[in-house]
Amino acid sequence: MPDSLDVMGWDVKDQGLYVIFSKDIPTIIKDWLKPNVQEFLMENGFDLNDIKDFIAHPGGKKVIDAYHEALGFDESMTAESMGVLREFGNMSSATILYVLERFMQRGGNKGEVGLAAALGPGFSSELVLMRWK
């Protein structure tokens, strides 16, 4: 996202690294994420209705709520993300690997499409499409 270094990232000071988290992140997700995801899916021949699993970085309860609002997914789509958030907290965007592990343990239906999404510094989104084999 252009001009978003003040949204999320790191401030390097003589005393160490300080994290930057804008209070506007949930609002930004609601306004910015859906068009970003829709464009990504369209470029790959899919739309939101094709997504059966949502492997989401649990950046916090408000972030997960913003995913629901932005993408129209119900709470079942983020159940594993909420479980990881409750158990481990938000460990930066790498937390998505804990969520992915739970999806892999659970397994899925052959041919179903999943979307993995994480948010990162400079306000960026990382998106990956997955299909169960």
Give 1-56 pLDDT, tens digit per residue: 677 666 676 778 999 888 777 777 777 777 788 899 999 999 999 999 999 999 99
The one-letter amino acid at 110 = K
Domain ranges in the chain are 24-131
Q: In 3D, which of 74, 69, 83 has the Cα closest to residue 30? A: 69
Please give the structure tokens belonging to residue 99: 């969520």
Q: What is the pLDDT of residue 62?
A: 82
Q: How many CA atoms lie within 13 A of 130 on its CB side?
A: 19
- Mean pLDDT over residues 102-122, rounded? 87
**What is the CATH code of the structural domain delimited by 24-131?**
3.40.47.10
Helix (H, G, I), strand (E, B) or coil at 111: coil
